Amino acid sequence: MRATLAALSKGCLGALLFWCLGLAALLACAAAATCSFFGGWCYAEHLRSRQALATTIARLADRGEVIGLAPAPDEPGPSDPGLARASEILRSLSSDFAIGRSWPKCRELLGAGTARVAWRGESAPSRDIPLSWDDVACQLEMAHETLEEIRALLDTGEGRVATAADEASDRSIAPWLAWSAMDRLHNLDTPGAVCEVARIRRLADRHRERPTLDGQLWRCALLKGAVRLSWEVLQAPALDPETLRALDALWAEDRPLAGVASTLRRERSAGLGAFAAMIRSMETDVHWKTHLEHIGQALAERPDLVAGAGEATAWLRYGAWRLLWADEEMARFLDTMQDLIDLLERDPGHVSWRTIRATWAAAEGGMSGQPSRMGLDRLVIGSGGLNGGRAACQVILEYEAERRMLLADVARARFELEHGETPSDLGRLVPAYLPSVPVDPMDGSPMRFRLNPRGEPVMYSVGPDCRDDDGDAERPDAKPAAALSHCRDMVWPIPDFARSTQ
């Protein structure tokens, strides 16, 4: 009996061992098959993603588009040493004392050109050390001489292309020219004020060919200030036809979106180079290895393992995206950029913000909804990506709307001088004063114009939201407005914004 039980036990143990070994072998085979399938799927996804990028680049190359791996170009130094030297003098003078509308005596000195006028017993505005008004007058005499040098350089019309290094120079020069224009207006010298506005325009046009969106935006910032000064000229008590014709000639022509397409091409190439450097360097990416080490330390030291596991999962997903789907997302991004470039080059003079916004919405809709999306346009491309390009086009078209309304207002003023009445609509200004009724660059419709109950002209653009609010000049959030585009509609004439926001 014992022998029988022993034999039965051995048989059961042997059978159990056999079944365990069989189950282990089966699990090993299943694991191997799963790993093989997952590895094959990953490899297939990687190849498909790379093929999608290669196909997109080949298709763009067939169209003549250059998709290179060019690094971002090195920015050269100042384009005009004379302007850079003069701006440095103005910057040093501005750092010694606060000059502007808040100091009437400084403005009086600046406008009248008076030098070495002393107010004994009074202290001048200063940031660091007390200055006498005699010191201020001497410094303003130097500022006048420097401004005359700047005017001579700008009036030569050489048109040198500005660089990034010139932004700091122009930031120092533009306020002095603006203050000089306002002081000329205070002295009823409207031709002199128009000359100062023209110099600011020349200063801005030096940035027209800058190969970055930042350069385009800086140009628009200068031009918006010049538009505001031109509107101040229109408020002069005695306007003459020559001044109005000079303003009309100054602002008659501009194609602000013309350089954006080429700028996007350059930044696209630089962004592709940065993308390739990031994706192809996974084996030697010190930043990636460092984060993995930090994740390991967090899992070993932190008591909150759930948070550590979540962080680890996020970084593992990031690594999977870089390996499997980054190329495909780059291909979609290149297609989106090309759609925008084609739109801008089709007819840059008549592209509206509504059309550009719809193109972007369709592009983002195509890029969203993907489980693998990591936001390549924000991670890699930077200011040249969807968000940066969209913001640039919006700001540029806001300036274009202000320019067109200014031209229409100049035409209205010319009409009033000759006929003694305000036109009831912009159609009466065509073709004697305007070649055609201006189009609102925000939505592509004719610019809105009417007379209010007091008989005063009111003109407006629908603004960035592309919604007609019947000329509502209030902000949606009831905060003080610092620009026309902050209001529900961009209403002309320009309201008197708070001095602190100018």
DSSP letters along 410-437, please?
HHHHHHHHHHSS--SSGGGGTTTT-SSP
Model confidence over 382-391: pLDDT tens digits? Answer: 444 555 677 8
Average pLDDT of the segment spanning 301-314: 59
| pLDDT (0 to 100) of residue 33 | 82
| pLDDT (0 to 100) of residue 279 | 61
| pLDDT (0 to 100) of residue 3 | 66
Q: Are 227 and 402 in contact (CB under 8 A)?
A: yes
| pLDDT (0 to 100) of residue 398 | 92
Could you tell me the pLDDT band of residue 498, with boundaries at 50, 70 and 90?
very low
Model confidence over 322-348: pLDDT tens digits? Answer: 777 777 877 877 887 788 888 888 776
Instruction: Please state, as a whole number, how many other Cβ atoms lie within 10 Å of the Cβ of residue 107.
Output: 17
| pLDDT (0 to 100) of residue 388 | 67
Distance CA 326, CA 281 (A): 13
Model confidence over 158-170: pLDDT tens digits? Answer: 557 788 788 888 8
Give whole-number Cα distances, 403 to 54, 254, 327, 397, 461, in Å.
43, 9, 42, 10, 11
DSSP letters along 240-279, please?
-HHHHHHHHHHHS---TTTTHHHHHHHHHHHHHHHHHHHH
- Structure-model confidence comparison of residues 131 and 222, the more confident one: 222
Position 473 pLDDT exceeds 70:
yes
Could you tell me the pLDDT band of residue 115, with boundaries at 50, 70 and 90?
very low
Q: Are 291 and 312 in contact (CB under 8 A)?
A: no
Distance CA 107, CA 125 (A): 12
Write down how long the chain is: 502
Over pLDDT 70: what percentage of the chain?
Answer: 68
Average pLDDT of the segment spanning 113-118: 43
Could you tell me the pLDDT band of residue 364, with boundaries at 50, 70 and 90?
low
Contact residues for 283 (Cβ-Cβ < 8 A; gap 6+): none
Q: Are 394 and 464 in contact (CB under 8 A)?
A: yes
- Structure-model confidence comparison of residues 18 and 122, the more confident one: 18
Please provide residue 299's backbone torsions phi and psi, each rounded to the nearest 5 degrees.
-65, -30
Q: Are 225 and 401 in contact (CB under 8 A)?
A: no
Pairing label, strands 448-451, 131-132: unpaired
Task: Give bridge partners of residue 461 from the DSSP assignment.
Answer: 490
* Cα torsion through 240, 242, 243, 248, rounded to 10: 130
Retrieve residue 324's tokens: 């499997």
Q: Which of 291-295, 308-312, 477-481 has the highest mean pLDDT?
A: 477-481
Of 381, 380, 343, 348, which Cα lies nearest the Cα of 361?
Answer: 343
Q: Are 468 and 385 in contact (CB under 8 A)?
A: no
Distance CA 331, CA 457 (A): 50
pTM: 0.77
Q: What SS3 class is residue 156?
A: coil
Could you tell me the pLDDT band of residue 227, with boundaries at 50, 70 and 90?
very high
Contact residues for 386 (Cβ-Cβ < 8 A; gap 6+): 333, 336, 360, 363, 364, 377
Exposure string over 324-345, b if 16+ CB within 10 A, otherwise e: bbbbbbbbbbbbbbbebbebbe
| pLDDT (0 to 100) of residue 198 | 94
- How far separated are the first and last CA of the chain, in Å rounded? 107
- Mean pLDDT score of the chain: 76
Average pLDDT of the segment spanning 303-314: 59
Q: Are 271 and 382 in contact (CB under 8 A)?
A: yes
Average pLDDT of the segment spanning 266-277: 68
| pLDDT (0 to 100) of residue 341 | 83
For the chain, the structural domain boundaries read 49-78+260-428, 81-259+429-501
Distance CA 493, CA 460 (A): 8
Average pLDDT of the segment spanning 27-41: 80
Could you tell me the pLDDT band of residue 434, with boundaries at 50, 70 and 90?
very high
Distance CA 173, CA 150 (A): 8
| pLDDT (0 to 100) of residue 315 | 63
Distance CA 291, CA 219 (A): 40
